[in-house]
Amino acid sequence: MNVRMRLLVLPAIFAMVVGSLLAEVKPALVVQVISTEDTPAYVAMITKANGMIKAKTGFERLRQVWVGDQAGESSHGVFVVSQYPSAAAAAQMQEKFADDPEIKAFLAELKGMRHLGPSYLYKGVRLEGGYPGGAVFVTNIACTDEDAYVKALDGLKAIFDANGFKDARVNLWRMTAGRSNWTHIVVIALPSQTRVAELLDSLGDQALLKDWNVGAAKIRTTVANGTYHEITK
């Protein structure tokens, strides 16, 4: 390849590389169902794990422990939620820790106090975040038009803002792996269990979403819902 050709090809390669780096990558969420006989002890171990992970990777509070409140079959269940920059980042971290002696020793200790249940991988679609130590109202849905539903959630947020719930943060996550009978989860985050309960009171007593639900029903079916709160220390 002559010099002129190299000069022509290199910018193209550079553009491809930069384009892939600049492409928007949505964060990934891993939800792991846990069974444990000693939840406080398990939470203490997760706090210890978060300290090790931060020292090795810089991730702050990677593992978050949540408990189901009024959540049907998931009531009183324990869940570990971990958010990563991408699904690839989650896999890379697992590979990095696979041969780490400190992590392996920790996992051996952890094995005696918990049993792993189902695990689910989600990708972010519409994200406003949450509250450390907060609470959420989660709705599992089967959605037929994601773009239209994102617009509907913009309208839902406007309804919340206009009715005393500007602190409600509306998130939509798409099921990527582990799919069951739902395609997405809608996570409405608030600072406390009380605020979630106040929101549910308003939705029920004031029928705030009567018209909104009529439109949303055309593109989504509700599969399940429930309230949860975080107990990570």
Helix (H, G, I), strand (E, B) or coil at 139: strand
Q: Is the pLDDT of residue 92 over 70?
A: yes
123, 141, 176: which is the final residue of a domain? Answer: 123
**Counted domains in the chain:** 2
Percent of the chain with pLDDT over 90: 79
How far, in Å, CA of 41 to CA of 113, rounded?
8
Q: Global pTM?
A: 0.86
95, 123, 151: which is the final residue of a domain? Answer: 123
Apex 132 CA angle, 128 and 133, nearest 5: 130
Higher pLDDT, 39 or 22: 39
Mean residue pLDDT of the chain comes to 89
How far, in Å, CA of 204 to CA of 88, rounded?
41
Structure tokens at 143: 């959605």
- Report the pLDDT value the prediction gives residue 15, as an integer from 0 to 100: 36
- Report the pLDDT value the prediction gives residue 128, as an integer from 0 to 100: 97
- Report the pLDDT value the prediction gives residue 59, as an integer from 0 to 100: 87
Confidence of residue 204 (pLDDT cuts 50, 70, 90): confident
Same-domain status, 111 and 130: no
How far, in Å, CA of 161 to CA of 165, rounded?
5
> What residues contact residue 206 under an 8 Å CB cut-off, 6+ apart?
163
Is 15 within the bounds of a domain? no
Mean pLDDT computed over 209-214:
91
Same-domain status, 109 and 188: no
Domain that holds residue 106: 28-123
Same-domain status, 132 and 216: yes
List pLDDT tens digits, range 93-124. Answer: 999 899 999 999 999 999 889 999 999 999 99
Same-domain status, 224 and 131: yes
Is 172 within the bounds of a domain? yes
How far, in Å, CA of 139 to CA of 130, rounded?
15
Give the up-direction half-sphere exposure of residue 214: CA atoms within 13 A in the CB hemisphere. Answer: 4
Q: Is the pLDDT of residue 86 over 50?
A: yes
- Report the pLDDT value the prediction gives residue 78, as an integer from 0 to 100: 96
Four-point Cα dihedral 159, 160, 162, 166, nearest 10: -150
Same-domain status, 50 and 134: no
Same-domain status, 158 and 223: yes
Do residues 82 and 91 touch, judged by C-beta distance below 8 A? no
- Report the pLDDT value the prediction gives residue 177, as an integer from 0 to 100: 96
The least confident of 1-10, 63-72, 135-144, 222-231 is: 1-10
Confidence of residue 11 (pLDDT cuts 50, 70, 90): very low
76, 94, 123: which is the final residue of a domain? Answer: 123
- Report the pLDDT value the prediction gives residue 85, as an integer from 0 to 100: 95
List pLDDT tens digits, range 172-196. Answer: 999 999 988 999 999 999 999 999 9
Do residues 41 and 128 touch, judged by C-beta distance below 8 A? no
Q: Is the pLDDT of residue 141 over 50?
A: yes
Same-domain status, 112 and 39: yes
Same-domain status, 210 and 168: yes
Same-domain status, 197 and 100: no
How far, in Å, CA of 139 to CA of 218, rounded?
16
Q: Strand locations in the chain, DSSP E?
A: 28-35, 63-68, 78-84, 115-126, 135-143, 169-177, 184-190, 220-230
Find the radius of gyration of the CA atoms of the chain: 21
Is 114 within the bounds of a domain? yes
Is 9 within the bounds of a domain? no
- Report the pLDDT value the prediction gives residue 179, as an integer from 0 to 100: 80
Same-domain status, 34 and 101: yes
Q: CATH number of the domain at 77, please.
A: 3.30.70.100
Structure tokens at 153: 């959630």
Same-domain status, 94 and 106: yes
Same-domain status, 32 and 46: yes
Structure tokens at 54: 């931060």
- Report the pLDDT value the prediction gives residue 195, as an integer from 0 to 100: 98
